[in-house]
Amino acid sequence: MNGVSCKSQGKVMSVKRGLSVSFVLCILLMLSGAAFAKERSVIVGFRQKPGLSEKAMIRGTGGRVKRMFKHIPAIAADLSEEAVDRLKKNGQVAYVEEDGVFMAVEPAAGNEFINAWGVKHIGADAAHASGNRGTGIKIGIIDTGIDYTHEDLNDNYAGGWDFVFNDEDPFDDNPNSHGTHVAGIIAAEDNGIGVIGVAPEADIYAIKVLDGAGFGLLSWIIAGLEWAVNNHMDVVNLSLEGQHYQSLMEACDSAYNAGVLLVAAGGNTYGGNPRYPAAYGSVIAATATDAQDVKAYFSPVGSGVELSAPGLNILSTCSLTQQSCAGSGGYRVLSGTSQAAPHITGTAALLLSTDLQDVNGDGMINGIDVRPVLQSTAVDLGEPGRDATYGFGLVNASAAVLPPDVLQLTIVRNNGKPAADAETVTLGEGVNRISIVNNGLRRIKIDVYEDGVYHKALTSSYRFGRRQPQEVTFNMDAGIMNYDVTFTPFGKRGTSADIVISAE
């Protein structure tokens, strides 16, 4: 092979869909060895926005211009070693760097199939109960593509682009269904089947920059970010990782300054620093936690960690076109920071659906206004305040989305005695309005305590059934006292009720 490694990236040619781009690159390198070794795929950064003269400069060195970026002053090109050396000495050139390879954050090992839990754990169900489902928010998923035929994604899929094959068909051909799994966490539909996403009525766009093997060129990722800006995405999810590149940092900064909120997986670094692009200041770096809010064993640690989210044993959508999904009904469990990031992305979409304030005063409501709210409403974990393990803490959809005088909770019937599933809340002074939306429970008992003393006069019980109302609303006057109210569910396993409490 003339010393050429199959991990190297040479000239990308058009290939038949279904073959891994990285595999084809390897074959091309083996066939042409020394010829490819003389040419490098690079990003040339200029000190000012490049135009015709800069294109002519590259062509004058014998190079080939592959892409001119619009939002950063750079050009993707194929150049010889001699041409690279010449351009580095040119005063108009700020940098020349490899058109490096990024990869999907590979799922962590050691998973067991359990029911999905992340969406409820961050309080997204409470936001849904209030009517907020992320309707109309545009989310770009920069990944391996999306299986847009999946019954839990097809109604929310709104389009996209494939930068691997440079066409309008960004279908997910990854064996892990990486992009499809991410999409389900963000926006799986509320259709009574499978799972539900954090923002089940958001519009999702597949921006395919990773091939079937989960690898993609730096230039594809930059082009994907520019597509997101040009097509007015509100939020972009990047569950991928790689090294630092000046051009990538500039592309992320440009998108963020244009109002696009960027959320990225911190990488499964097993206690190492967050990877890029998550580690950039313009990007929210996501780390993963388990159901007990403990750092997942594969999660990164470092000052760049910004928010935590569920990432261990997450059930979501997968493509039935892939053998790994065969027999699963279109759903599978994966773990990783790739699964944590979309929980944050979906929460951002819910927040953008509210009457969000213009925090930075630029006259626009966008991702820049979302970020401080996500930080301030997160559930603090670990050391007080921001820390290197959990960042600002666990993303909290209910606290981020709901008014501070509104409390929402969901009670669920599990195994054991009903008392083990009871939830207790404290009502403030005055009149409180309580609304209950039943989801299959047979009965709910409501016990009231005043300073630890059982208040029999205010205790009640509501039965549900075919002939009984499935929604109940009533007022409870706490006077000048604070009441502790316990809601106990009765019914079959898996039945539940959503409860909304607001001050009148």
Which residues carry out catalysis?
143, 178, 338
Composition of the chain by helix, strand, coil, percent to 5: 25, 30, 45
Parallel, antiparallel, or unpaired for β 101-104 and 331-334?
unpaired
Which residue, among 317, 307, 217, 299, has the nearest Cα to 261 in the 3D structure? 307
Q: 182 burial class (0-12, 13-18, 19+ CB within 10 angstroms)?
A: buried
Max CA pair span of the chain:
89
DSSP assignment of 358-424, as one string?
A: -TT-SS--SHHHHHHHHHHHSB--SSSSSBTTTBT-B--HHHHHS-TTEEEEEEE--SS-GGGG-EE
Query: Do residues 126 and 397 lie in contact, with contact meaning Cβ atoms separated by under 8 Å?
Result: yes
Cα distance between residue 132 and residue 149, in whole Å: 25
Contacts of 56 (CB under 8 A, 6+ apart): none
- Extract the runs of DSSP E, i.e. beta strands, from 126-189: 138-143, 157-162
| Coil/strand/helix, residue 450 | strand
The DSSP code for 169 is -
277/238 Cα distance (integer angstroms): 8
Residue with tokens 């493509």: 319
The candidate with the shortest Cα–Cα distance to 75, out of 298, 314, 308, 250, is 250
- Paired strand residues for 309: 288
Cα→Cα distances 7→21, 24, 99, 165, 170, Å: 12, 11, 13, 20, 24
The burial of 111, by beta-carbon neighbours within 10 Å (0-12 exposed, 13-18 middle, 19 or more buried), is given as middle
* Torsion region of 302: left, alpha or beta (phi above 0 gives left; psi -120 to 50 gives alpha): left
